[in-house]
Amino acid sequence: RAFKCFPNVEGLVFHSDQGWQYQHSYYQQRLKEHGIIQSMSRKGNCYDNCIMETFFGRMKNEMYYGYEKEYRSFEEFAKSVEEYIDYYNNKRIQAKTKWMPPVKYREASMCSA
């Protein structure tokens, strides 16, 4: 059903853990048929994807939980995600980045190196 809704997925990278459903030959074949590149974390290594897991967890907490907005289209949802990513990178301050947004912290780190 997802491939019918989103027919142009060739070249996308699908990253997951090594759950049995992702290792199933039928599942892998369906990805391959649509030109999707499959990527998996190493077995027993939760650190392979921890940065993105943390980001998506924060995004869900800050964007969705408590808001339960219904999007009229995929385009509207995609625009909302793009806006959140821009906010996260350029405006959202964090203690671990010395109370700067990630982009400003990276720029400051590069200047001091």
Spatial CA neighbour of 17 closest among 65, 57, 50: 50
pLDDT tens, residue by residue, 16-31:
888 889 999 999 999 9
Question: In the prediction, which pLDDT does 24 show?
Answer: 94
Question: In the prediction, which pLDDT does 113 show?
Answer: 60
For the chain, give the mean pLDDT: 88
Using the predicted structure, report yes or no on whether residue 78 has a pLDDT greater than 80: yes
Mean pLDDT of the region 94-113: 88
pLDDT tens, residue by residue, 31-71:
999 999 999 888 877 788 788 888 888 999 998 887 778 88
* Residues 66/79, Cβ–Cβ less than 8 Å: no
For CA atoms 78, 83, 84, 85, the dihedral sign is positive
Question: In the prediction, which pLDDT does 80 show?
Answer: 93
Instruction: Give the global pTM.
Output: 0.63
* Residues 100/108, Cβ–Cβ less than 8 Å: yes
Share of the chain above pLDDT 90, in %: 47
